[in-house]
Structure 1
Amino acid sequence: MQEVVDPMELSLDEGRFLVKIARKAIEHYLRLGEVIKPPRNTPNKLNKYGMSFVTILKYPSNELRGCIGYTQPIEPLVRNVINSAIAASTQDPRFPPMNIGEVNDVIIEVSVLSVPVELRVKGHDLLKEITIGKDGLIVDYGVYKGLLLPEVPVDYCWDEETFLSETCLKAGLKPDCWLSDRVKIYKYYTKTFREVKPQGDIIERNLIDEYKRKCSFLFRD
């Protein structure tokens, strides 16, 4: 079995490398229709198997332009980021494919995922198992599957129950599907790296701090 990258082991420099390679992959594919190869100077850790999502956001509005990724470790992380980046820019069914003229008007965000873990508790006990800003969620019921990244409830100031309900909706199910014993709920964690502006500085997002700061009204008595 291939060793899988733990997101918590990634440094800021490695995160910057992934964001830069995601942008390069998008630009190269939109110009030439070719998938780039991982460069020779790829850090060793990024050649381990891993899962990622690449999110493309319009700048400066932060409006979503595309987001696609993987929840299974099917290839080295660096190659997974390349493939996720190209897919996010050209295959997200919610949006038309990007064109090369857009690349300087978007910012790139890369989230590296841990292996999802099924939550064994049911009903309202699930609320105690979720930490906003740390956990992402997956809902799985037969052919119905939905995933939301940890940054989504932070960006929209959702509480735990809303996060579960929105993940159910993403799966094409009723918002209270998480209360059913037949629905499987998984959680995972990420490290998320993001451009501050197009081709600008790259930071690691501290989602828990963002949530406390941005959504402080949720914590008032």
Structure 2
Amino acid sequence: MLGHDLVSHVRSAMLNKLRGLPVPESHPVLSQLRAGVFVTVESIVRSGGYERREVRGSLGIVEPFKDLAFDSAKVAAKLALSIPRFTEFDLRRSVIEVTLVEGLREWGGDLGSFEWGREGVYVIAGNKKLVVLPQTMIERRLLGPALLRYIESMVGAPERMYKFATRIFYELRPEGEVIERELWKSRVIRQYLEVVR
């Protein structure tokens, strides 16, 4: 239920922003919750008889500013305007993914205690900041030492690193059923864990 409410709220915020209408900043359930939130928009691309998803844009905050209804609507509205040539028509043909971020805590880079598929990373290096969500780790095969190499290649030597827990809610089809992604069950992570054990 939370996933459906959250994705529906985000989609409404994006649609209203694209139409020039006020963005819904409250919700009976979401206004009671506090969490960081990332919103991702993926277009459905059909080519050669296959269908794939292509990220159009992603934006978020690692710590809550206000409540989840307010924060998710503001992030979604800003994202809708930041995607080049993004229209109502594009939104109707796109799937929405919302990642909740909770429990931000310092992390020394210990890979042995890292919960692959459940945790993400927030890194600060000077004026550079980087967020790596669990889905990015799987898509780019950033498991084990590859994650630390990726961080260094993106921001240089990190001054501070944090990890956080996530819950990922995802539309199966545009405006369709919403599921909670269980990335820790992915084949990529299982194969990695078999090798390191």
TM-score by length of 1: 0.77
Cα pair 2:122 2:132 within 8 Å, conserved? yes
Gaps of 5+ in 2: 45-50
Quickly say closer, same or farther: Cα 1:163–1:106, change in 2 above 3 A: same
Query: Corresponding residue for 1:18?
Result: 6
Q: Equivalences for 1:182-201 in 2 at 5 Å?
A: 183-201=159-177
Query: Corresponding residue for 2:101?
Result: 113
Moved more, 149-158 or 160-169: 160-169
Moved more, 155-164 or 107-116: 155-164
Cα pair 2:116 2:189 within 8 Å, conserved? no
- 1:53 partner SS: strand
Query: Corresponding residue for 1:86?
Result: 77
Gaps of 5+ in 1: 1-12
- 1:64 partner SS: strand
CA shift, 1:67, in A, is: 0.6
Q: How many residues align?
A: 189
Q: Equivalences for 1:150-169 in 2 at 5 Å?
A: 150-169=134-153
- 1:114 partner SS: strand
Cα pair 1:51 1:70 within 8 Å, conserved? yes
Of 50, 60, 79 in structure 2, the residue corresponding to residue 69 of structure 1 is 60
Moved more, 159-168 or 22-31: 159-168
Cα pair 2:25 2:69 within 8 Å, conserved? no
CA shift, 1:57, in A, is: 0.8
Cα pair 2:38 2:100 within 8 Å, conserved? yes
Taking the aligned partners of 2:147 and 2:14, their CA distance within structure 1 comes to 30
Query: Corresponding residue for 1:7?
Result: none
Moved more, 183-192 or 26-35: 26-35
Quickly say closer, same or farther: Cα 1:148–1:20, change in 2 above 3 A: same
Taking the aligned partners of 2:170 and 2:32, their CA distance within structure 1 comes to 21
Query: Corresponding residue for 2:20?
Result: 32
Quickly say closer, same or farther: Cα 1:168–1:23, change in 2 above 3 A: farther
CA shift, 1:218, in A, is: 3.6
Quickly say closer, same or farther: Cα 1:214–1:141, change in 2 above 3 A: closer
TM-score by length of 2: 0.86
Quickly say closer, same or farther: Cα 1:37–1:159, change in 2 above 3 A: closer
- 2:9 partner SS: helix
Quickly say closer, same or farther: Cα 1:219–1:135, change in 2 above 3 A: closer
Aligned alpha-carbon RMSD (Å): 2.1
Quickly say closer, same or farther: Cα 1:58–1:89, change in 2 above 3 A: same
Of 145, 148, 157 in structure 1, the residue corresponding to residue 129 of structure 2 is 145
CA shift, 1:152, in A, is: 1.0
Identity %: 23
Taking the aligned partners of 2:85 and 2:144, their CA distance within structure 1 comes to 33
Cα pair 2:39 2:99 within 8 Å, conserved? yes
Taking the aligned partners of 1:199 and 1:56, their CA distance within structure 2 comes to 12
